Amino acid sequence: MTTSASHTTKRIAYIYSAEYTNIASLLPSNIDRSKKVHALIAAYGLLCLPELTIVSPRRATTKELCRYHSRDYVDFLRRVEDTNTSDLDEEDQGDGDNRSDALEDRLEEYGLRYDCAVFGGIALYAEFVAGSTIEAATLLIDDAFDTVIHWDGGRHHAKKDMAAGFCIVNDIVLGIMELQKSYDRVMYIDLDVHHGDGVENAFQFTDKVLTVSLHHYAEGFYPGTGSGTLTTTRTKAVVNVPLKSGLSESTLSRIFDEMLEPLFKNYSPDAVVLQCGVDGMAGDPLGKWNLSIKSYADCLKKIMAWKRPLMVLGGGGYKTSSAARCYANLTSVVIGRQISDEIPEHEYFEDYAPDFMLQVGAGRQADENTDAYIEQIRKLIDAQSQTLQPTKNRGRQD
């Protein structure tokens, strides 16, 4: 199969609608982030460029959601929005004094408490996020576009039968499953500061999806997985890159060039999915890494140079103005248009005070990922890569 882009003009899709943006902005962990991301991108004029086509999002059907998620979870998600329990069945409600406890038990079972608390529109949100990433996959499969951007996607923690880590639905898994209808091998790269555990769990026993997660790993840091040392003979194509505090742009670049690039060449995927969680940026409330906007842009440029059908998704990022800055810049990178470092005036202009500038510079934490530790990482990646079977040239025209 020939999957490299041979088109002389860029074919880029951008999944967006005002309705979807309003729904995505309800997510409690990222209130109004979607509105502000798309507003800044629009203010830069990027949505009007001929290289980019706006594609309407769509809602996933029950059948599509249940390709990965359990039917019980999907059904409960649709019933649970009314926490007064009027729409819940007897099993969910209990009776008499036990009613509240029964509901709490069910919410706990499905992960819909604490960081994934129920909110108005939760089921509609899940349907739109999942359906839009599935649509992104379909656009690539149909060879309608070379790159599809879906900044409201990238929810990598959700499990088969429960929500987790601010993620109600695992749109990434569903999107990759859709890609598998046409692409033999898919490479998934996760740049979020948290381990991409939900995606790894879904594909760890197949060699048809290579999951690569670069994340902060430390005792007590969510989700506590991704050490890179727990692979078994059953694990087929999983590579974890556990990193320490203070990750710098130069260290990230080194890891990418010296370790991820060889992984790509060895695995030779037919399509690539990139999760661009930006909670590793300097200034994010999590405060773990030193990355700048340029750090993410450099990674994206390198992946684009592979010339594979590419799905670009969002993810974490809890300083909204920084996330909007980064996603606007990454959108410009995909299009190939440089944008001004001055934030254009628009509805949320005041959020970018006091400097009203695009760039978010690198942080100043000490980079604990020393040369010696990077060598340990290299050996860890080599060990995890032993299960990978190099693909033979399948007529690819790179």
Residues labelled catalytic? 157
Spatial distance between the Cα atoms of 357 and 354, rounded to a whole number of angstroms: 9
Spatial distance between the Cα atoms of 244 and 376, rounded to a whole number of angstroms: 12
3-state secondary structure of 362: coil
3-state secondary structure of 119: coil
Q: 94 in the Ramachandran plot: left (φ > 0), alpha (ψ -120 to 50) or beta?
A: left
Spatial distance between the Cα atoms of 272 and 105, rounded to a whole number of angstroms: 39
Half-sphere exposure for 90 (CA within 13 Å, toward CB): 1
Spatial distance between the Cα atoms of 284 and 294, rounded to a whole number of angstroms: 15
Q: Please provide the DSSP assignment of 131-192 as one string.
A: HHHHHHHHHHHTTS-SEEEETT------BTTB-BTTBSS-HHHHHHHHHTTT-S-EEEEE-S
